[in-house]
Amino acid sequence: MKWYILESAEEQIIGQFDHNPFDDWEFKVRGFSTGSSGYDTKEALWEANHILPQPCIICKRWIQLHWIPERNQKLIERNMCFGCTFWDEKLQAMLQGTYEGRRKMVVNGCMYSIAPDDPTDDFKGFGGTKFQFLDLRTNTFIVSRNTWFNGEIPTVWLPAFPDTAIMIEGRTPFRVIT
């Protein structure tokens, strides 16, 4: 029996298995990816993955400190996992109206960033595809050829991120439905 960490967008499992769980079709279908190698003891798994003794205050996942020192310090200070720290930063940006000069939009539980349209910039979100949004906060239309997908908002964070826009024109990212 070995100890493993299994992680998906909505779930984290730390447990003992008599075989490699990543060979199981059930875990693949549920969207789990490898979180760790197999370890002989739970203590060895925790030490190797730099897991803090207390879970995230938001999602209750275990906090792993395997990032750059500045990011690890933020996780410790906030007592949040990497994912919740990411979404907490996005929430603060939305409350301020911009993030690094970008406007944030939430459409159907997904976040998009509207970056400045610079005609000389060859590196644009969605390859420069035209997007048009109706901003529900201001009742104005936003047109951009530099829209970036920030991710599908995890269930635990959805109450903090109500939809702020309707996408009139553009592409939605591919979603795996399980």
Mean pLDDT by 10 residues, the chain (178 residues): 84 85 76 77 90 93 91 94 93 75 87 88 90 93 93 94 92 57
The answer on 4 and 43 residing in a single domain is yes
pLDDT at 178: 46
Q: How many domains does the chain have?
A: 3
The answer on 63 and 44 residing in a single domain is no
Distance CA 30, CA 62 (A): 19
The answer on 85 and 39 residing in a single domain is no
pLDDT at 21: 82
pLDDT at 129: 92
Give SS3 for 89.
Answer: helix
DSSP designation for 70 = H
Task: Quote the pTM value.
Answer: 0.78
Give the structural domain span for 71: 53-94
CA neighbor of 19 nearest in space, from 7, 3, 32, 5: 3
Cα within 13 Å of Cα(73), Cβ side = 3
Q: Within a domain: residue 35?
A: yes
Q: Within a domain: residue 42?
A: yes
CA neighbor of 135 nearest in space, from 103, 88, 95: 103
Q: Within a domain: residue 75?
A: yes
As a residue count, the chain comes to 178
Q: Within a domain: residue 177?
A: no
The answer on 158 and 137 residing in a single domain is yes
The answer on 134 and 73 residing in a single domain is no
The answer on 115 and 134 residing in a single domain is yes
Distance CA 47, CA 155 (A): 29
